[in-house]
Amino acid sequence: MKILVTGAKGFIGKNLIAELKNRKYTDILEYTKDTNPSLLDEYCKEADFVFHLAGVNRPKDQSEFMKGNFGFTSTLLATLKEYNNNCPIMISSSIQAELDNSYGRSKKAGEDLLFKYSKETGAKVLVYRLPNVFGKWCRPNYNSVIATFCYNIAHDLPITVNDPSVVMNLVYIDDVVNELINALNGKENAVGDFCEVPVVHTITLGEIVDLIYSFKKSREERTIPDMSDAFTKKLYSTYLSYLPKDRFSYELKMNVDYRGSFTEFIKTPDRGQVSVNISKPGITKGNHWHHTKNEKFLVVSGKGVIRFRKIDSDETIEYYVSGDKLEVVDIPPGYTHNIENLGDTDMVTIMWANEPFDLEKPDTYYLEV
């Protein structure tokens, strides 16, 4: 199957082509503004499906809207006609096609042209009036507020918010791409004459800004956003894609003493805390118990023993652990416990607790095993 993608180097085009290749579509005809125009004939002759993503949305002159969004669409359809190629064609329009502005009128003209083409040729046409699309590889400080805010905040640059109460309807690039590939396979989400991306997120501009700033702060606080919220999860992935190339990493505070170190890695309000514990050879750590707090220990390097004793019992329980055999040991409440390094190298343990450490309410009581 030969798939023609116009606007192949644009935001949606790059993401679509990357996923098409992931799904083993190898015969992709990429057309950009820099492609030799003579290739359009060859591509229109051979294409089995057309994703028409090319367009103009930030021209130097308003007249360029019609030339880019209507003119090239006209050329594309005329070329398909010339070769009697009635393959399905998808066009990326905009919700602004309903508005009376230069951009909206140019998009509406492109839509009308496509519907007329369908009536004349019988070709299947798929018109997507997309709201604001966000995600990786979108150009910042151009025409996407999400891309601009993510880039600027990640780079310590100022942003401008005129009205935080403005409500935005947004679609995520992966959801768009998934819908377009469904359309390629004849499973488009059609609503009347148009097609839609089924997952739309509605949120205010102020809420978006607050979230992005919280992502920046999360590195300092060693926290993770609420990934159970679909929009937060997608926006966080988008934010990370705009990190400066020299700021992918960030330091953690290591609490170091003669016994080794203890370092908090990730804290969440609802899924607990993950830390990294390093014990020197012969060192025993712990000897405490909890009322409600519970933990999971995973030794990933070295070897040792985890000992337990119910606080009202004399019986000691031992679990031998090693980085050579990864297994999780649960630390139940009501048992005092410790972990001893039995090897001659540092022992590294990943520790999860069901709640972030609270200095005011640690729920931790010293008692020798």
- Could you read off the pLDDT of 149-176 as tens digits, one per residue? 999 999 999 999 999 999 999 999 999 9
Which residue, among 239, 221, 252, has the nearest Cα to 154 in the 3D structure? 239
CA distances from 44 to 15, 20, 22, 72 (A): 22, 19, 24, 13
Q: What pLDDT does 143 receive?
A: 82
- CB burial readout 186-204, b (16+ within 10 A) else e: eebeeeeeebbbebebeee
Q: What pLDDT does 59 receive?
A: 47
Q: What is the pLDDT of residues 206-219, one digit of tens each?
A: 999 999 999 999 99
pTM, two decimal places:
0.91
The least confident of 16-25, 66-75, 164-173, 196-205 is 66-75
Which residue, among 84, 147, 150, 144, has the nearest Cα to 120 in the 3D structure? 84
- Structural element, H or E, at residue 134: strand 132-134
User: Quick check: is 103 catalytic?
Assistant: yes
Q: What is the pLDDT of residues 69-81, one digit of tens each?
A: 557 899 999 999 9
Q: Where residue 338 falls among pLDDT bands split at 50, 70, 90? A: very high
Tell the burial category of 124 from Cβ atoms under 10 Å away from its Cβ (0-12, 13-18, 19+). Answer: middle
Q: What is the mean pLDDT of the chain?
A: 93
Q: What pLDDT does 66 receive?
A: 46
Percentage of the chain exceeding pLDDT 70: 94
Q: Where residue 289 falls among pLDDT bands split at 50, 70, 90? A: very high
Distance CA 115, CA 92 (A): 13
Catalytic residue among 31, 43, 83, 103: 103
Which residue, among 103, 113, 33, has the nearest Cα to 73 in the 3D structure? 113
Q: What pLDDT does 311 receive?
A: 98
- CB of 53 within 8 A of CB of 20? no
Mean pLDDT on 107-129? 92
347 strand-pairing partners: 279
- CB burial readout 44-66, b (16+ within 10 A) else e: beebebbbbbbbbbebeeeeebb
- CB of 273 within 8 A of CB of 304? no
Greater pLDDT, 98 or 28: 28
Distance CA 82, CA 40 (A): 12
End-to-end C-alpha distance for the chain, whole angstroms = 68
Q: What pLDDT does 72 receive?
A: 87
Count of positions (residues) in the chain = 369
Q: What is the pLDDT of residues 125-153, one digit of tens each?
A: 999 999 999 999 999 998 899 999 999 99
Domains of the chain: 1-130 (3.40.50.720), 254-366 (2.60.120.10)
